[in-house]
Structure 1
Amino acid sequence: MQLPELLYMIYQKGASDLILKVGNKPMMRLQGSLVPLELPPLNPEDTKRFAVEIMTKEQLERFRRDKELDLSCSIASLCRFRASAFIQRGEFGLVFRLIPNNIPTMDELGLPIISKNLAMRPRGLVLVTGPAGCGKSTTIASMINTRNANQECHIITVEDPIEFVYQDVKAEINQREVGKDTLSFTNALKSVLRQDPDVIVVGEMRDLETISLAITAAETGHLVLSTLHTTDAMQTIDRIVDVFPPHQQTQVRMQLSGNLLGIISQVLLKRADGNGRVMAYEIMMVNSAIRNLIRE
């Protein structure tokens, strides 16, 4: 059993994920449900070999040290995969998430024109939120491509790992991968303001320092796009504020009220006819009334 064959199989079947665990058949996530592939169960040598195949020497050293690693790989000219390697019960485990080469447009995603307006704003903070696997990265990629197609600007992304690969159209796009091109989200965000960006994309706001630096970047005149694992706009604001210690929360509310432009919260639902999934979303556009509520 070869890894490229497995990845090509889930690409052909239209699955979103591939889960590889020792002792089990390979599993794919198809339309939100886990489905086993009609293949023999994996042995320890299989998963170890698959992991080593997709890692560079430096990545393998990091994996052996940390026992987990996020990275990306690809099937030439077809698609890319975000991979998560880890150790479970002493054996290698792997999960692959399919990333299509062609980035869907906002129209194809079913997003309204107001989303394009957010992508074209000169400064401020825009957040895309939702549970894992709901297409947040795809929505962000669509917003980047919209900006890329319509305006000459400098876009810098900080990702862990790089998922979609962009081709410069009108924009100059620099993509930085955590662990490969920069040590951390924090390091990248500390230096990005000296790199003349118009748009800064933060793959995920994971901790206090990353959130603080992203808000500061928006405050200093840049458009910042990022994601959070929250279910709606209200929870998103509470999550951001609650990350900070109590004595800083009033200041953070003031910063958010002055710089947050909008929150797109989304989820994928099964179609009524059972044929695939469709995105459902809510969009909160920040106006004067909402700014007052955030401050309070």
Structure 2
Amino acid sequence: MKELDDYLKLMSEEEGSDLHLRANTPIFVRKHGKLVKLDLPPLTETQYLAIIDSLLSKEQKERLHREKTVTLSYQAANQARYRIHLFFEMQGVSIVIRLIPEKIPRFDTLHLPKSVEDFIHLESGLVIIAGPTNSGKSTTMASLIDAINRKQSRHIITIESPIEFVHKNINSLISQREIGIHTLSYERAIKAAMSEDADIITIGRLQHSAAIQSAIKAANADHLVFATMDANDIQEVLHQITSSNNENFDQHSLNKTLASTLKGIVVQHLIESVDGSRVPAVELLKNTPHIHDLIMKEKFEEIPAALEAGYQTYQTQTFYQSIRDLYRLEYISEETATRHLKDSKYGLLLQGIRHLSHNIEFGEAFL
């Protein structure tokens, strides 16, 4: 639809990541994490309903009224791709549109710890990419899959709602499936992938108990499974997984299976960088022998101390250690670092960090 495409073009010109639309309401874009009101007249009710009508199929309209929310992908006239989310709220239906980058970012441009890329060399197991909404989870996972695609020959099945980044077959064969179009549910798609000669299964959003159980089974059956989850920290990820138990597992069996199949958890938060963009602060878990035992015993409250202790030996890290490194490498300002570190012991060390050499590799141990 031309009118919608015009607004999307304007968002691009404003270097925005998200466009917020609602009838008779100012139009907003999100730019570098901050919401900015555009100097444009609001959409009329007629204009707004025409946009909704052009976006949704009959089935999607029925789902929106039944479930009060619907998510879809959209390709504009200029071939740019977007993820569109419609939802009911007090004033009616709102639309949030997120730009999907045309090119999949290379891993080394994301400012993530280098050891995160080690997960692409695994043969099997479960790797979770987590964070709050709009924290770059999908971008991180797409970048890891792209790295596999360029370096390895694997059959990769992605399960998404909707399909976001489009992968081309380079050295790997990639099959992308969208919930509601190519398959009915995450659970069915995961089970099917186990019979479709998949080496790697990626799951766009792991949240329901049945899908979580299916993902664990797939990882336990010699598949490498990457999945994203909405969670603020590693403990929350582990609680979500272990509380997903149903009649298929007793709790001890679930903990034992998770402890043996989980290979890593990456939790990322985007924070403001010195150049006005955003960089990820990352909490990183790798399944060390000590972490394995803590998961078995559900001693999740001891996980942060284990991550901190494993910083040099295993390249695990806490959120606070990540903030500390970002400041030392001059990605973030002292003000930003202070705001995030003030409640940790690293806040006491902040003044000393600026006197240390900055000539280090990202993620090198803080001395």
Alignment TM-score, normalising by the size of structure 2: 0.77
Q: Flag the structure with higher strand content.
A: 1
Give the structure 2 partner of residue 45 of structure 1: 46
Query: Contact 2:5/2:76 (CA < 8 Å) preserved in 1?
Result: yes
Equivalences for residues 1-20 of structure 1 within 5 A:
2-20=3-21
Equivalences for residues 76-87 of structure 1 within 5 A:
76=77, 79-87=80-88
**One-letter amino acid of the counterpart of residue 268, structure 2:** Q
Bigger shift: residues 255-264 or 182-191? 182-191
Equivalences for residues 1-296 of structure 1 within 5 A:
2-76=3-77, 79-89=80-90, 91-244=92-245, 248-273=250-275, 275-296=276-297
Identify unmatched segments of 5+ residues in structure 2.
298-367
Provide, for residues 218-264 of structure 1, a one-character-per-residue CA deviation record: whole Å limited to 9, x for no partner.
00000000011112222211221123259732221111100000111
CA–CA distance in 2 between the matches of 1:130 and 1:41?
A: 33
CA–CA distance in 2 between the matches of 1:140 and 1:59?
A: 27
Query: Contact 1:78/1:100 (CA < 8 Å) preserved in 2?
Result: no
**One-letter amino acid of the counterpart of residue 190, structure 2:** L
Bigger shift: residues 74-83 or 23-32? 74-83
**SS of residue matched to 2:29:** strand
Report deviation, 1:87.
3.0
**One-letter amino acid of the counterpart of residue 183, structure 1:** L
CA–CA distance in 2 between the matches of 1:44 and 1:66?
A: 22
CA–CA distance in 2 between the matches of 1:139 and 1:243?
A: 25
CA–CA distance in 2 between the matches of 1:177 and 1:38?
A: 36
**One-letter amino acid of the counterpart of residue 198, structure 2:** P
Query: Contact 1:124/1:259 (CA < 8 Å) preserved in 2?
Result: yes
CA–CA distance in 1 between the matches of 2:151 and 2:164?
A: 22
Query: Contact 1:136/1:266 (CA < 8 Å) preserved in 2?
Result: yes
Query: Contact 1:22/1:44 (CA < 8 Å) preserved in 2?
Result: yes
Query: Contact 1:70/1:160 (CA < 8 Å) preserved in 2?
Result: yes
CA–CA distance in 1 between the matches of 2:242 and 2:66?
A: 33
Query: Contact 1:127/1:264 (CA < 8 Å) preserved in 2?
Result: yes
Report deviation, 1:104.
0.7
Q: Please say which structure displays the higher CA radius of gyration.
A: 2
Query: Contact 2:191/2:218 (CA < 8 Å) preserved in 1?
Result: no
Q: Which has the higher contact order (CA 8 A, sep 6+)?
A: 1
CA–CA distance in 2 between the matches of 1:65 and 1:239?
A: 26
**SS of residue matched to 2:93:** strand
Q: Percent identity?
A: 35
CA–CA distance in 1 between the matches of 2:170 and 2:219?
A: 24
Identify unmatched segments of 5+ residues in structure 1.
none
Report deviation, 1:46.
2.1
Query: Contact 2:213/2:244 (CA < 8 Å) preserved in 1?
Result: no
Q: Once superposed, what is the RMSD of the aligned Cα atoms?
A: 1.8
Provide, for residues 188-212 of structure 1, a one-character-per-residue CA deviation record: whole Å limited to 9, x for no partner.
1121111110000011111110000
Provide, for residues 35-55 of structure 1, a one-character-per-residue CA deviation record: whole Å limited to 9, x for no partner.
111111122222221122223
CA–CA distance in 2 between the matches of 1:229 and 1:106?
A: 21
Query: Contact 1:159/1:178 (CA < 8 Å) preserved in 2?
Result: yes
Provide, for residues 118-160 of structure 1, a one-character-per-residue CA deviation record: whole Å limited to 9, x for no partner.
0221100000111000000000000100110011110001100
Give the structure 1 partner of residue 310 of structure 2: none
Report deviation, 1:91.
3.3
**How many equivalent pairs are there?**
295
Provide, for residues 89-114 of structure 1, a one-character-per-residue CA deviation record: whole Å limited to 9, x for no partner.
47332110111011111100012332
CA–CA distance in 2 between the matches of 1:76 and 1:218?
A: 40
Report deviation, 1:279.
1.3
CA–CA distance in 2 between the matches of 1:231 and 1:88?
A: 25
**SS of residue matched to 1:167:** coil
CA–CA distance in 1 between the matches of 2:292 and 2:186?
A: 28
CA–CA distance in 2 between the matches of 1:91 and 1:113?
A: 45
Query: Contact 1:47/1:93 (CA < 8 Å) preserved in 2?
Result: no
CA–CA distance in 2 between the matches of 1:222 and 1:179?
A: 24
**SS of residue matched to 2:250:** helix
CA–CA distance in 1 between the matches of 2:231 and 2:92?
A: 32
